[in-house]
Amino acid sequence: MVWFSEPTEQTARIRHQCEWCGQKINAGAHYVRYVTDFDGFTIIKLHPECYAAMLKTDGIEEDGFLSGEHTRPGSEEEAIECSKGTT
Ligand SMILES: [Zn+2]
C-alpha cells in the first residue's frame, strides 16, 4: 500500500517540472503538490490537468507511474477543439 499525502494546490514561486508529463510548471502557475513514499519520500508536483488525468488512471495507487511518461492533457487535442469553437 502506497501512502499519499493530501494533495494541495500551490502557486509556483520558481519553475518546477511536472512529474506526469515532464513539461515545465512555470513560476506563477498553479500546480498540485503531494508527498508519497512510493519509492522513498518524494514530493510530487503536477499540473492541475495532469493531476486530474492521474486520478482517472486505473491502478495508479498500486503501481505508481514513471516521471514524464504521459502527455499533458489538453495540450494538443483540446486546443484544436477550442480553436474550432471560437468563431
Ligand atoms: Zn503536466
What pLDDT shows up at residue 36?
Answer: 87
Supply the pTM of this predicted model.
Answer: 0.76
- Higher-pLDDT residue of 39, 19: 19
C-alpha cell at 41: 519520500
**Structural domains of the chain, ranges and CATH numbers in brackets:** 8-84 (3.30.1740)
Position 74 pLDDT exceeds 90: no
- Cα of 23 from ligand 1 centre, angstroms: 6
pLDDT > 90? residue 27: yes
Can you list the pairs that 28-33 forms with residues at least 24 positions away whose Cβ atoms lie under 8 Å? 32/7, 32/8, 33/7, 33/8, 33/9
Q: How far is the CA of 87 from the centre of ligand 1 (A)?
A: 29
The Å distance, Cα 70 to ligand 1 centre, comes to: 8
pLDDT of residue 84 exceeding 70, the answer is no
CA proximity to 3, closest of 53, 49, 41, 48: 41
33 to each of 77, 80, 84, how far by Cα in Å? 26, 29, 33
